Structure 1
């Protein structure tokens, strides 16, 4: 790829970051001050005690482990003699986003749902460079080893999916199978983001997240209303207001959004590589028909890049699919594992 192309993309990316940041100030911050100039739109109802759902024993035992020199918190459920099923959450989530899957799969697998670095009760190193993809991949590779396994079934969502896919590309030997929900490979995302208007528009938030401070302030508005707006689904009760309080408990803490946002800042791509992966790792990539952040064309790019992949679009489901439609998603995962005798 030529230097001119990279320079053009650099200029476009920075222009879009400024553009979306200005929109945030004009249409989110300014109206708050105009309507209530003496109010504080960033005042949050801090909770000293975690919601009872977070300590419910049905989800497992809370533990800590050192992996890749990073202290990680995880919830452990199921027989440790069974195969390891490891769950990687996305943004803005933590282990609790897998609550429906833990109680479904812990009869046949040892289910481990981890807080990735910078999230929940895991270690939160300061600085953008601590969130580069190669470090995130090594966290999970070493986590599998530290848990006492050589291989695992990896179930992932959103950013967890990008990390899981990079792990699969780098160390396919550590995976029995990979399921990726509402996600894509980093290369596929970069390709479509730079070559199609659809994915570039859907990725507007990614450009805005590159700015300093402004995205943190936007996400904290109105007592973290972002969680109510995007995780609660009208007419469905699989995500409750009590569940939302669990997310607000962790993301309501001081500077809680900065490490997760650093995933975007550290891994923004101006270039991408096209490579065909022929490794024999069962691979399922699933999108929801109502996903507002991902173009379904990403699945076509993935099919060109991976010879051993199944793709699927689930009707009537949005981005946070494993929470919104757990019965459907659990069945898809179960069917895929049964097909491969896992």
Structure 2
């Protein structure tokens, strides 16, 4: 990429960052003017976790030090069976896989992790700690520490970006990869520059590059954002008690900064070339039909990147599809695993 084009991208993306953060600041001002004597950032901290977070049907809570960082995970199933690692997205934690854990623990050794900086896992300081090479190294060391050479990766959103990069760097360690509402880093960078619609849908990525303001925006009205994106009309697989499980962790001081640092640490101004990965690693990428954050055209780029890839659109679902329509998603995953004898 030429220096001129690189500078063009830097200027344009920085202007978008300023634009979206100014809009949020205007929103803060409006809220304050409407009620100057009430803070929208008052948090309802709770000392005891919601009962669902400790329900034994999901497995046993454990901790492991990998790549210098202590991760929390929930383990269930038979350790003699294939290892299935669940890698959540933003802004979630292991609990986002609750419907998949109870289904797949009969046939696999299920390990649902809290990524570094999330939930009960350690929160390394500094933005650089969340660069993708560190996140990939966490997964690699986790597999090794668990005494395995290979695993099945089931991922969503940011977890898919990490799992996809892990597959690129360590294909010999992957039986199969499932990415839900996710993409490769290359596909996203190319699409966000070439496709105005994807750039518009990725507004939050530019917002999150700024300090402090994104955290304040998400914390407003006791993390009301969770009700807005996860409680959907006509859908009952996520309810208010599930939302309380999320709020239990993300109400904590500074709990949102490490997750947002994933965006800050990995934002790219380059325009990567498409490199075809021909390793025989079964791969399923499923997008939600009503996803407000990802254009389906991303799947076309992914098909150019990977020679062994299956894609699907899950109808009548939005971004958090594995929680919204678990029966559909679980069947999709099972069919993929069965087809590839995994």
Global fold match (TM > 0.5) = yes
Q: Give the structure 1 partner of residue 99 of structure 2.
A: 100
TM-score, length basis structure 1: 0.99
Deviation at 1:195, TM superposition (A): 1.1
- Gaps of at least 5 residues in structure 1 are none
1:176-207 CA-partner distances (Å, limit 9, x unpaired): 00000000001100000011101100111000
- Gaps of at least 5 residues in structure 2 are none
Deviation at 1:221, TM superposition (A): 0.1
Q: Contact 2:293/2:319 (CA < 8 Å) preserved in 1?
A: yes
Cα distance in 2 for residues equivalent to 1:294 and 1:273? 20
Q: Give the structure 2 partner of residue 335 of structure 1.
A: 335
- Secondary structure of 2:153's counterpart equals strand
Are 2:312 and 1:315 aligned? no
Q: Contact 2:274/2:304 (CA < 8 Å) preserved in 1?
A: no
Q: Contact 2:99/2:322 (CA < 8 Å) preserved in 1?
A: yes
Deviation at 1:273, TM superposition (A): 2.9
Task: Give RMSD over aligned pairs.
Answer: 0.6
* TM alignment of 1:88-127, pairs within 5 A: 88-127=87-126
Cα distance in 2 for residues equivalent to 1:163 and 1:208? 21
1:287-340 CA-partner distances (Å, limit 9, x unpaired): 001000001000000001111000011111000000000000000000000001
Q: Give the structure 1 partner of residue 10 of structure 2.
A: 10
Cα distance in 1 for residues equivalent to 2:147 and 2:327? 30
Cα distance in 1 for residues equivalent to 2:108 and 2:17? 43
Q: Give the structure 2 partner of residue 237 of structure 1.
A: 236
Q: Contact 2:45/2:248 (CA < 8 Å) preserved in 1?
A: yes
Q: Give the structure 1 partner of residue 224 of structure 2.
A: 225
Q: Contact 2:93/2:115 (CA < 8 Å) preserved in 1?
A: yes
TM-score, length basis structure 2: 0.99
1:78-132 CA-partner distances (Å, limit 9, x unpaired): 0111110100000000000000000000000010000000000001011000000
Aligned length: 341
Q: Give the structure 2 partner of residue 82 of structure 1.
A: 81
Cα distance in 2 for residues equivalent to 1:147 and 1:273? 35
Cα distance in 2 for residues equivalent to 1:151 and 1:273? 28
- Secondary structure of 1:150's counterpart equals coil
Q: Give the structure 2 partner of residue 21 of structure 1.
A: 21
Deviation at 1:30, TM superposition (A): 1.4
- Secondary structure of 1:207's counterpart equals helix
Cα distance in 2 for residues equivalent to 1:269 and 1:194? 11
Show structure 1 runs of 4+ deviating over 2 A.
Answer: none
1:257-293 CA-partner distances (Å, limit 9, x unpaired): 0000000000001112310010100000000010000
- Secondary structure of 1:19's counterpart equals helix
Cα distance in 2 for residues equivalent to 1:278 and 1:74? 32
Q: Give the structure 2 partner of residue 264 of structure 1.
A: 263
Cα distance in 2 for residues equivalent to 1:273 and 1:154? 25
Cα distance in 1 for residues equivalent to 2:106 and 2:287? 26
- Secondary structure of 1:290's counterpart equals coil
Q: Give the structure 1 partner of residue 129 of structure 2.
A: 130
Q: Give the structure 1 partner of residue 290 of structure 2.
A: 290
Cα distance in 2 for residues equivalent to 1:314 and 1:114? 25
Cα distance in 2 for residues equivalent to 1:285 and 1:340? 15
Are 2:137 and 1:143 aligned? no
Cα distance in 2 for residues equivalent to 1:308 and 1:323? 27
Q: Give the structure 2 partner of residue 212 of structure 1.
A: 211
Deviation at 1:149, TM superposition (A): 0.8
Q: Give the structure 1 partner of residue 277 of structure 2.
A: 277
